[in-house]
Structure 1
């Protein structure tokens, strides 16, 4: 498989996994109790691209997320969520190791970027988190899925020779592939605490307006932009008792 086909193959695999998870109702029906959660999270959103070629934790900007989660089996959970963030990145604050490189000094660019993401992911829980007899109830997990992203951006440059880099606010839509790791911990029967770090793979290099199309050689044409979210969450669990399969097939047999 050639390298340029790897993102497309990953996207197809993720979509198939999410589809099978959301429509596998038979697995839920076999369980005596099923759960769902609503929650909120606060944390930081980050970006890597032309203005920040390397991930740097100190570049995180405030972000907020809300989500709904439902258990499908003892191992898999499905989650839908919304994440919002606003950030400012520029060539002078991307990190000590790259501040004195020629290209950032030449561009002198600043980016204002607002994000709104809607995602659907499937989580794989390494431990049986939904077994209420476990003390304590805790599980690390891995997640992957698909997300729709709307982002608003504005680019300015302090270099008078790069006036073409001054771009007004522009809004774009795109698709990303979120994946990452986390850990969830049950504070009580209903309340849960979560910690998560996730990356979002994009299929374009235009999140920051800096592409090689301007002919000034101000961007790297061989990489793609990424964005990230890491944070802490608090959620509340609802429990539902499922009808036994024999009763669903013959209502009234237990009367």
Structure 2
């Protein structure tokens, strides 16, 4: 077998394995019990872009999330959520060498940013979290999905030479992001769960801070994309639903 044939065989096996996870009969809630969760989370939202060239934990600003989660199979859960955050970011937020650079010193810019995100993600759980025989009951997980967000942004500068180009009123914009990350769930009781999560959002724009479209001199690197992050803790409540055996379902639906 050649290397090319081996790669093809490996790809086919991988696709079959993924398909068995998503399209097996167990996927569509054939288990005796189906679970869903409603939850609330608090944490920090962070921004990475022109005014913050690297991720720094100290740059986190308060953020709030609400979410709904539903199990699809033992390893797979889906989650929809809303995140809200407000932050103020400037070229001198943290006094260290990372900000003592020509562009930040020249721009002297400040951004006020309010953001609301609506996301849908798929979570892969490494352990059977809803097996009540396990004690303690917990599971690490990965997640990935798609998000849309709307944000209000206001750009300003202390450099008089750039004031006419960078001092702008509030603007409302929308964007698309690709959320992904990891977390861990821990059962406090049969119904209550504690969660810890860190997630990144890869944006399809470089204008979260409104610098990429600034008039006048070039004050931003327009060849990369902005990011934002969320890390926080959550508390959720599990709702259990007993599923009737198939012969006793009068009008079974796609999620029954």
Alignment TM-score, normalising by the size of structure 1: 0.86
Matches within 5 A, 1:189-228: 189-211=190-212, 214-228=215-229
- State the 1:211 CA deviation: 1.1
8 Å CA contact retained: 1:110, 1:155: yes
**What is the alpha-carbon distance in structure 2 between the residues aligned to residue 48 and residue 37 of structure 1?**
31
Tell me: CA distance 1:25–1:214, structure 2 relative to 1, closer, same or farther (3 Å).
farther
Q: What stretches of structure 1 move > 4 A for 4+ residues in a row?
A: 23-26
- State the 1:95 CA deviation: 5.2
Q: Which residue of 2 aligns with 1:153?
A: 153
Aligned length: 232
Alignment TM-score, normalising by the size of structure 2: 0.86
Unaligned 5+ residue runs, structure 2? 1-17
8 Å CA contact retained: 2:85, 2:114: yes
* 1:66 counterpart SS class: strand
Tell me: CA distance 1:211–1:199, structure 2 relative to 1, closer, same or farther (3 Å).
same
8 Å CA contact retained: 1:56, 1:95: no
Matches within 5 A, 1:68-147: 68-94=68-94, 96-147=96-147
* 2:104 counterpart SS class: helix
8 Å CA contact retained: 2:29, 2:72: no
Tell me: CA distance 1:25–1:215, structure 2 relative to 1, closer, same or farther (3 Å).
farther
- State the 1:214 CA deviation: 2.9
**What is the alpha-carbon distance in structure 1 between the residues aligned to residue 109 and residue 154 of structure 2?**
10
8 Å CA contact retained: 1:78, 1:122: yes
8 Å CA contact retained: 2:154, 2:168: yes
Q: Deviations over 1:137-186 (max 9, x none)?
A: 10000000111100000000000100201111000011111000000000
- State the 1:250 CA deviation: 9.9
**What is the alpha-carbon distance in structure 1 between the residues aligned to residue 211 and residue 95 of structure 2?**
19
Q: RMSD of the TM alignment (CA)?
A: 2.1
